[in-house]
A = this chain, B = another copy of it.
Amino acid sequence: MQVIKSSGALEKFDHKKIYNTIRAAGGSKKLAGSATKEIKKKFKKNVSTEEILKFLLKYLNSEPGVSQRYNLKRAIMALGPSGFPFEKFFARVLEYYGYKTSVGNKLKGKRIIHEVDVVAEKDKKWMIECKYHNEHGTITKLHPALYTYARFLDLESYHFNSPWLVTNTRCSGDAINYAKGVGLRVTSWSFPNKESLQDLIHKKSVFPITILTSVKNEEVNKFYEANLIVAKDLLNISSRELSRRAKIDEKRIIKIIEEVREVCGK
């Protein structure tokens, strides 16, 4: 059996990958095992990742929050389309790891002013370029790695310790090899092992609010306007205050908070 990826490419069906992703999304071994078995039984011929996902999102519902967390990649794709929220989102993720961050900086290079997506400090000072794609099947290739490094060089006077390229998609092998050579840190959807974007998000349950299936687009926008982008952050604010800030009815807010608890396992 082969899987048709969103890029159109065919790939051998890898039940281990699905098993691991369900486990990463907090599903029990039992659930992960039965889900992969079901897929093998249900789909005999080639099948699109889209169809597998549709099946899984229903199937995983039997354990609270697993389905949503399994859908993390799409939740992040839903942050766009401008890309600005991804920078804000990633900065917030870093804050959960003890970094001090600032977003949307304009810094003077030797000749021109550069827009630096995120400046982050923790022991070291990082110049972060966020490369956001909201189309499935896109890859971050060599160019962003090259221009991130050139920008870092041009901002010498700010004494950044290192540049850092963050992306919500896969990074090409060329980009990663180049980055290693020049000391550019790379965080992509699944690289590096144990510290990839998905790892960073899962480890501290720093999910974007777009992961909440009951929340509609217009509500997402209201949360953005109230500067709320991480689902977990809603748990630190009273429902009354949240209702006031996001301009959403308090009863509805209470419902939303329930889903947040389910997803974050609290």
A residues apposed to B, CB below 8 Å: 109-113, 142-143, 146-147, 149-151, 153-154, 174, 177-178, 180-182
Contacts and interface: CB of A to CB of B under 8 A. Distances in A.
Scoring A109, A113, A178, A181 by chain B CB atoms within 10 A of each residue's CB, the highest score goes to A178
Contacts of A146: 146-147, 150-151, 154
A174 to B, nearest CB: 5
A181 B111 contact: yes
Main secondary structure of the interface of A (DSSP, over half): helix
B150 A181 contact: no
Contacts of A174: 112-113
Contacts of A180: 111
18 contacts: A109-B178, A109-B181, A110-B181, A110-B182, A111-B177, A111-B178, A112-B142, A112-B177, A112-B178, A112-B181, A143-B143, A143-B147, A146-B150, A146-B151, A146-B154, A149-B150, A150-B150, A154-B182
Nearest to A174: B112
A151 to B, nearest CB: 6
Given A110-B181, A110-B182, A154-B182, 15 more contacts: A111-B177, A111-B178, A112-B142, A112-B174, A112-B177, A112-B181, A143-B143, A143-B147, A146-B147, A146-B154, A147-B147, A149-B150, A150-B150, A150-B153, A154-B181
Contacts of A110: 181-182
Contact of A154 (B111, B154, B178): B178
A132 to B, nearest CB: 15
